[in-house]
């Protein structure tokens, strides 16, 4: 009886050992823990203009939206979100991956948008002051550059101390754009100007996604008009329009620390492009995304009281900047800019 019990126990133990060994030697490869997602796109083709976006969506076998739990790939490159835009034409393979399971590949066509009907202009914002002895180092070369490059538009933002042309919101803008010394010039609100003209040339060598036009009239001390934004792209990127009133031709002594062999101060220094007022919100009025369709024109009517300024030397400067919902783009970067003399018309160009 004792021998039978030991025999049964031995057989059970052997079976356990064999089972354990069998599990330990299992070489079955890892398999996805979920069925493959079903990939869809809201477009099968986009323009290679760097603006038009495509949105990817994924669903499970029960038609539940699982986009947030998927990773999306263009070729072998994983995206940071489920939207994408391109600047290079071609045909791209798209896939969605979830828990190791891959969707069927989808094909996206990215086509050449052709040349833009608009010229790409650049905005240079010069943080300056009549008290600043180093400021002629930037102000004078910028003036010379603009004279030979009309696509460059300068705004002189004066402040922050005893300057007769100090802009009322100078400190707000200076702090926002992290101006720590004078002079400081920002190119398209994106990069600090290194004072190299080649940097300005390169910024203008881009495809313009939109253009700006103006119609303005003057009645007494009031400037009225319409700013027009025309799109050459289809985009849902957040955009805003900023309108400034600037004034030219003010003569006032400029402190100068021996730049260009000029005296200190330069008694007959002519200050141009002086930022006087904002017509829109300081950081721009939102342009409705629904209107951002290729060929569409967005109008914004405005009125500005120019009392105290020489209207014959006043201009409107308008520029479109990237707002929120910018799909990874830097907020407040200038997209394009235009200027018009008060009382005149400026067509799209």
- pLDDT truncated to tens, each residue of the chain (349 aa)? 444 433 433 443 434 333 443 344 455 455 556 799 999 999 999 999 999 999 999 999 999 999 999 999 999 999 999 999 999 999 999 999 999 999 999 999 999 999 999 999 999 999 999 999 999 999 999 999 999 999 999 999 999 988 999 999 999 999 999 999 999 999 999 999 999 999 999 999 999 999 999 999 999 999 999 999 999 999 989 999 999 999 999 999 999 999 999 999 999 999 999 999 999 999 999 999 999 999 999 999 999 999 999 999 999 999 999 987 666 778 899 999 999 999 999 999 9
* Tokens encoding 145: 């550059």
The answer to whether domain 122-346 has CATH 1.10.1040.50 is no
* Tokens encoding 132: 């600043």
Range list for CATH 2.60.40.1080 in the chain = 38-111
Could you tell me if 342 and 311 are in contact, meaning their C-beta atoms sit under 8 angstroms apart?
yes
Q: Which CATH number fits domain 38-111: 2.60.40.1080, 2.30.30.30, 3.40.50.10700, 3.90.1010.10?
A: 2.60.40.1080
N- to C-terminal Cα separation, the chain: 107
Range list for CATH 2.60.40.10 in the chain = 122-346
Q: How far is it, in rounded angstroms, from Cα 97 to Cα 80?
A: 13
pTM of the model: 0.86
Tell which residue, 287, 285, 290, 280, has the closest CA to residue 317: 280
What beta strand segments (E) does 60-195 contain?
A: 71-74, 77-78, 83-84, 90-98, 101-102, 106-111, 122-128, 152-158, 184-187, 191-192
Reported as type and span, the H/E element at residue 145 is: helix 136-148
């Amino acid at each position: 009886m004792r021998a039978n019990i030991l025999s049964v126990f031995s057989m059970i133990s052997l079976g356990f050992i064999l089972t354990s060994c069998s599990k330990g030697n299992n070489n079955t490869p890892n398999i996805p823990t979920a069925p493959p997602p079903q990939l869809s796109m809201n477009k099968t083709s986009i323009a290679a203009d760097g603006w038009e976006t495509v949105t990817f969506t994924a669903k499970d076998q029960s038609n539940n939206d699982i986009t947030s739990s998927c990773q999306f790939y263009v070729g072998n490159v994983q995206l940071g979100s489920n939207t994408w835009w391109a600047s290079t034409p071609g045909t791209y393979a798209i896939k969605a991956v979830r828990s190791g399971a891959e969707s069927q590949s989808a094909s996206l066509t990215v086509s050449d948008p052709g040349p833009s009907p608009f010229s790409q202009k650049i905005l240079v914002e010069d943080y300056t002051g009549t008290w600043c002895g180093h400021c002629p180092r930037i102000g004078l070369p910028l003036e010379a550059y603009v004279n030979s490059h009309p696509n460059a538009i300068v705004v002189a933002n004066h402040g922050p101390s005893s300057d007769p042309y100090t802009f009322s919101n100078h400190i707000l803008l200076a702090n926002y754009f992290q101006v720590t010394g004078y002079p400081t010039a920002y190119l398209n609100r994106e990069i600090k100007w290194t004072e190299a003209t080649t940097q300005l040339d390169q910024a203008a060598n881009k495809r313009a996604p939109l253009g700006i036009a103006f119609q303005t009239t003057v009645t007494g001390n009031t400037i009225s008009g319409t700013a027009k934004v025309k799109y050459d792209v289809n985009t849902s990127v957040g955009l805003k329009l900023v309108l400034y009133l600037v004034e030219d031709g003010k003569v006032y002594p400029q402190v100068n620390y021996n730049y260009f062999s000029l005296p200190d101060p330069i008694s007959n220094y002519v200050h141009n492009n002086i930022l006087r007022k904002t017509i829109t919100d300081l950081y721009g009025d939102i342009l409705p995304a629904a209107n951002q369709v290729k060929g569409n024109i967005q109008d914004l009517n405005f009125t500005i009281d120019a009392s105290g300024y020489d209207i014959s030397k006043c201009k409107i400067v308008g520029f479109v900047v990237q707002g929120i919902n910018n799909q990874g783009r830097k907020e407040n970067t200038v997209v394009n800019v235009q200027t018009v003399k008060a009382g005149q018309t400026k067509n799209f160009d």
